[in-house]
Homo-oligomer: A and B are copies of this chain.
Amino acid sequence: MKITPTRARELARHLGGEIVGDADTMITGIAPIEQAGSGDLSFIAQARFLDQLDQTAAAAVLVAANFTLTPGRRPALIRVANPYFAFIEIIKKYLPNPQSAPGIDPSAHVSPHARLGEGVTIGPHATIEAGCEIGAAVQIGAGCYLGRGAKIGSGSTLFPHVCIAHEVIIGRNVIVQFGSVIGSDGFGYVKHEGRHHKIPHLGTVVIEDEVEIGANCTIDRGTFGETRIQRGAKLDNLIHLAHNVTVGENTVIAAQTGVSGSTKIGRDVTIAGQVGFVGHIDIGDHTMFGAQAGVTKSIPANTVVSGYPARDHAQARREEAAIRRLPELLKRVKALERLLAADGKLQLSEDSPKEEMAG
């Protein structure tokens, strides 16, 4: 992709990096290392990929300051603390970003009782109800809905078709992607005379600064109190958070995971896709969850779990390996029983199970 043409020296200066090779090389685009062509800047994030330097056509490559480089013909290098992070910094500064000018599309429905900061963009067919407070430079995509009293912090972006229900509070520099719903009513009923009666959901949702939420997620509001996603947490697509859930700082949750009511997830937790958590449990900081794990109880900090029910990951793998051998184990035990029966030491009971296995 084309960027504003810039010399390698200037990019290194912007990044606070050290240049090795031709500092005057003109950089005109960016690309991943295996696709980079003449004029492109690329990056190598891990030392084991350094041999790609010998094949790439890139004009310059971002590498880590602590990589050990062997001599050879190669593109200009820019040594930085974190090459991928530096690559993102270059994209943010030098890649043209054709954004629409701020302004409110005439087809948007904006209540006269909403308060809008400077430089707000509101797309076609959006609805902003009374009492909303929208911070500076917020971008609200086409067809978004903001219920009465919703608050959006400055610098946040709602992609098209996002629903923010009444009174929900969104922090600064938050991103919510297409079609996600923040503040739906939680799933709670009281059974009375054989019928389910809806529990009013009087709480709300608080999304702290720098959080990102993917597409078509559903984040329910608290029954009382709040559902809260703490600073810097990142959620993928089609995730469900029930009422009164807490997600800790910098926690990362992959697609299609669901968290039941009132469960508290700690900080810096890593959750793979399609994981399920029962309600009312505590998930410790720095825990990790394998894909499709079914988490049925609280998990202490710094633990890696997987499987259903979720348990220590190394133990789960040992059990899975043992299950692979289970059909053969049944035969081995049968052989032992026959041997001892032949000795007259064991009576094979009538109801001793037959080899009735499927498959």
Residues on A lying within 8 angstroms of B by beta carbon are 1, 31-32, 35, 81-82, 84-85, 88, 91-92, 95, 98, 105, 107, 109, 123-125, 127, 141-143, 145, 147-148, 159-161, 163, 165, 175, 177-179, 181, 184-185, 187, 189-190, 192, 194-200, 202, 210, 212, 214-218, 220, 223-225, 232, 234, 236-238, 240, 242, 250, 252, 254-256, 258, 260, 273-274, 276, 278, 291-292, 294, 296, 307-309, 311, 314-315, 317-330, 332-333, 335-337, 339-340, 343, 345-346, 353, 356-359
Asked whether A98 lies within 8 Å of B237 as measured between CB atoms, the reply is no
Q: How far is the CA of A202 from the CA of B96 in the complex (A)?
A: 11
B161, B240, B292: the one contacting A163 at CB < 8 Å is B161
The chain B residue sitting closest to A147, CB to CB, is B160
Complex-state Cα separation, A109 to B106, whole angstroms: 10
* The one of B190, B197, B260, B358 that contacts A321, using a Cβ cutoff of 8 Å: B358
- A-B contact list, 21 entries, CB within 8 Å: A84-B190, A88-B198, A163-B215, A177-B185, A179-B218, A181-B237, A187-B214, A189-B234, A194-B250, A198-B212, A215-B220, A216-B217, A258-B274, A276-B292, A317-B358, A318-B357, A319-B324, A321-B358, A322-B326, A332-B337, A336-B340
Do A190 and B85 touch (CB < 8 A)?
yes
How many of these chains are in the complex? 3
A323 touches B323 (CB 8 A): yes
User: Known: A255-B240, A330-B325. Is A161-B145 also a contact (CB below 8 A)?
Assistant: yes
